[in-house]
Homo-oligomer: A and B are copies of this chain.
Amino acid sequence: MSALPASLDARLAALLGDGWRTDPAERLTYGYDNSRREAMPDGVALPRDRDQVVELVRACRGFRVPIVARGRGTNTTGAAVPIAGGVVVSFERMDRILDIRPGDRCAVVEPGVINGDLQAALAPHGLFWPPDPTSAAFSTVGGNLACNAGGPRAVKYGASRDNVLALTAVTGAGELIVCGSATTKGATGYDLQRLLVGSEGTLALIVEATLRLTPKPTARRALRVIYRDVASAARGVARLMAQPVTPSMLEFMDTQAVRLARDVGGADLPTDAGALLMIEADGEPHMLDAAIAALAAAANGDGLVALDDAPDEAARGKLWAARKALSPALRTLAAGKINEDVVVPVSRIPELVDGVQAIARAASLPIVCFGHAGNGNLHVNILYAPGDASQCERADAALSQVFALTVSLGGTLSGEHGIGLAKRDFMPQAVAAPTLALMRQLKAAFDPDGILNPGKLLP
């Protein structure tokens, strides 16, 4: 039983044919994302083209029915959960790569294209699209753009927002807008395409994207650097980011993460390892030696315990083993995990990690930090037993303290996961009231009736 007005139901059925679903069992599968939250939509639309999207937005607007855009639901913040009911618009049928233009370093795609499928299609051209979230094999380009997805490569190549040239989208008023152009430079009016990136479906539905591509480096090489403590590793990060060879990845593990990878995950790490950096360089093979030498020199400094170079892919795999052992080890430690992705200026990483450990001690809960150090973007994992009310309460309090600490260090709530539902109520901590008020006014300009993903991003 859908709660939609019968005439809207009939209109969408006529518009979308078998792309209109109201069966409860089917609706249910479009009601959750990777946040483990869920809510039942009243209908699911699978449009085939932009005209159908325009028509369905106009139809829903006529009845003030909410619309929630959906890629593949890999989001961790609840941004794709239809908490106000209404219509979920899944872009799974708009999944064509429309054009790949190597000389222009761009590709034109529909929003439902899977990130990994795009990369496979680009590989023969020697090109790639930089955003590489962990979900890349399953998540869509549209979803990546809606959430400004990043990943480890962002330290060198930027996140989704840095890799888009133009977007075609349908606003909450049902207007088709074309933002930007397929050019790498532009000073023609307001930059609407980068505003849409990261807006989590609250401003407009993306129906076509022109992506900025980068030539794919033909080789890569990794360093694993072990430090005595977090402060030494963080000084290494600052040195690495202040010299001219930008690493293609610069990943960090704090003391808790190192211990967990070694003691629980079985990684081969010395007992005096207090922190770890995984550093990668990419480029042309004949340039890599020099790049790795520059990175190793920058990584070397007070507190260094060991520096291992991986000359080939097999050795690279061995070095990454410690990082790979971490996630399963985390799961064995506690059933409940709050995984946040706060971001601070690189120089403030030691204060963030120290402060987080103080919060952990006060809460009597383990907190493990690792992530994309080159961007100051750390995944803070608060571990707790979901069945224990006291632990749940302390975990929630710790999370709030982590956000307050982050903001006090000049950082912000999210580096790459977004706000969605999970962090919505923390927005006033990070964004001043007049700026938030302006964001609400912009939302109203794009979506006058507030039908696009209501209740997300803005408190």
Contact = CB atoms under 8 A, between A and B. Distances in A.
A175 to B, nearest CB: 4
A245 B216 CA distance: 10
Contact of A185 (B147, B150, B245): B150
A6 interface: no
A444 interface: yes
Interface string A187-213: 111111011011100010000000000
B242 A186 contact: no
Interface string A215-228: 11110000000000
A414 interface: yes
B183 A415 contact: yes
Given A147-B187, A192-B438, A181 B410 contact: yes
A184 interface: yes
Interface string A405-437: 000001111111111000100010011101111
Contacts of A345: 101, 104, 106, 182-183
A427 B189 contact: yes
Contacts of A7: none
A284 interface: yes
A192 B443 CA distance: 12
A89 interface: no
A187 B242 contact: no
- How many protomers of this protein does the assembly include? 2
Contacts of A347: 101, 103-104
A441 B446 CA distance: 8
Nearest to A435: B177
A283 interface: yes
A187 B414 contact: yes
A57 interface: no
A217 B444 CA distance: 45
A371 B230 CA distance: 48
Interface string A89-103: 000000000000111
A161 B376 CA distance: 21
A129 to B, nearest CB: 15
A414 B188 contact: yes
Contact of A242 (B126, B346, B411): B126
Nearest to A193: B194
Contact of A103 (B203, B242, B414, B439): B242
A290 interface: yes
Contacts of A277: none
A61 to B, nearest CB: 14
A442 B439 contact: no
Interface size class of A (residues with CB under 8 A): 35 or more
B103 A411 contact: no
A258 interface: no
A189 to B, nearest CB: 6
Contacts of A203: 190
A194 B194 contact: yes
A282 B48 CA distance: 46
Interface in A282-305: 283-284, 286-287, 290-291, 294
A282 to B, nearest CB: 9
A255 B177 CA distance: 38
A367 interface: no
A195 B194 contact: yes
A178 B241 contact: no
A431 B186 CA distance: 12
B182 A241 contact: no
A221 to B, nearest CB: 14
Contacts of A441: 445
A15 to B, nearest CB: 20
22 contacts: A102-B238, A103-B242, A147-B187, A154-B184, A154-B185, A159-B185, A175-B437, A175-B438, A183-B375, A185-B343, A185-B416, A188-B423, A189-B198, A189-B431, A190-B195, A190-B439, A190-B443, A215-B244, A244-B283, A245-B284, A286-B290, A442-B445
CB-CB nearest 6 A-B residue pairs: A103-B238, A441-B445, A215-B244, A185-B415, A175-B434, A104-B345
